[in-house]
Structure 1
Amino acid sequence: MNSKVLMPFVCLLFFVQAYAQQGTIFGKWKTIDDETGEAKSTVEIYKKGDAVYGKVVAITDVTRQDEVCNKCEGNEKNTPVIGLDIIKNLKEDDGEYKGGTIFDPEKGKKYTAKIWLDEEDASILHVRGYIAFFYRTQDWIRIE
């Protein structure tokens, strides 16, 4: 097939795929520091089997790029934070993803998790971590 004919189809496919991800939790998200309001990292939300996971793909502070998770346990202890799955085993339930965990590598704490898209703005992902009936919710921003 002629490359002049093929190129518009490739571009169209790219834009359709990018547009389709706008209404889902899947893709890359900028995490925000609660205290400073500054970006901390980029987490990619993806599907593995029938569950949803999220891994750190970038750290904003260049001095922390080589950090390892010394507060992790098991196989993840002392592994690089970049590449670490911090969200694990979430299952979809009526537009929300829950039943799994989220891990804070800085504090070394694991929480029950729930994530969902903002109803009015699909570029905002609500991320909630629970311990018993106490919880904290962060808003992550979609990276285009």
Structure 2
Amino acid sequence: MTLRNFGTALLLSTALVFPAWADTSSPVGKWRTFHPDSGAPNTIIEITQTGGKLEGTIVELLAGATETNCAKCEGERKDQPLVGMVILWDLTPERGGWGDGTILRPATGGTANASVKLADGGQKLDVKGSRGIASRTQTWERVE
């Protein structure tokens, strides 16, 4: 086996062993959320990037999820299933993270201004929702 073939084989075998490597410098990927009151795992959100903006979609409800539809939402989201619903949108790059977006809280049907910032080497995502002077930050965990 030549050195070149060995290198190719090593690269391919490494890719097979570690297929879940994530780009820890970007929030793109899947994230586990937690119920704000109980702390139980709640949903899996998939964040994607299109046209320079981030959006997050609920792709899975976990055992801690207490709702399956957006009963308190208004308009086209009213009573729609949570799985497949976009709850985070229009986030644009800003210094230290992403901001100027919107987040939907299905439990209340309300929206807030949103920003996100990677933490813990890209394994956690601090998600901040703000309305006026009030704000709340949740920490989501990356799903490998």
Same fold (TM over 0.5): yes
Shift of 1:45: 0.8
Structure 2: which 5+ residue stretches go unaligned?
1-7
**What residue identity is the alignment partner of 1:74?**
G
> 5+ residue gaps in structure 1?
none
Larger radius of gyration: 2
- Which residue in the other structure is 1:140 paired with? 140
Partner of 2:15: 12
Q: Which residue number corresponds to residue 101 of structure 1?
A: 102
Normalising to structure 1: TM-score of the pair? Answer: 0.81
Match of 2:61 in 1: 59
Tell me the alpha carbon deviations over residues 75-108 of structure 1, each in whole angstroms, 9 at most, x when there is no partner. Answer: 2222210010000101011231111100011111
- Does 2:50 match 1:80? no
Please state how far the C-alpha of 1:136 moved relative to its aligned partner. Answer: 0.5
Cross-structure match for 1:33: 35
TM-score (structure 2 length as normaliser): 0.81
Aligned in 2, Cα 1:132/1:14: closer, same or farther, shift over 3 Å? farther
Cα distance in 2, alignment partners of residues 108 and 10 from structure 1: 47
Root mean square deviation of aligned Cα? 2.6
Tell me the matched-pair count.
137
Could you tell me the percent identity over the aligned residues?
30
Runs of 4+ in 1 over 4 A off after TM superposition: 62-65
Q: 1:14 to 1:88 in 2, by over 3 A?
A: farther
CA spacing shift, 1:25–1:70, aligned 2, 3 Å: same
The residue type equivalent to 1:68 in the other structure is: N
Amino acid corresponding to residue 85 of structure 2 in structure 1: L
Q: Is the 8 A contact 2:41 2:65 kept in 1?
A: no
Change (3 A) 1:63 1:20: closer
CA distance in 2 between partners of 1:73 and 1:132 (Å): 21
- Aligned partner of 2:24 among 14, 22, 39: 22
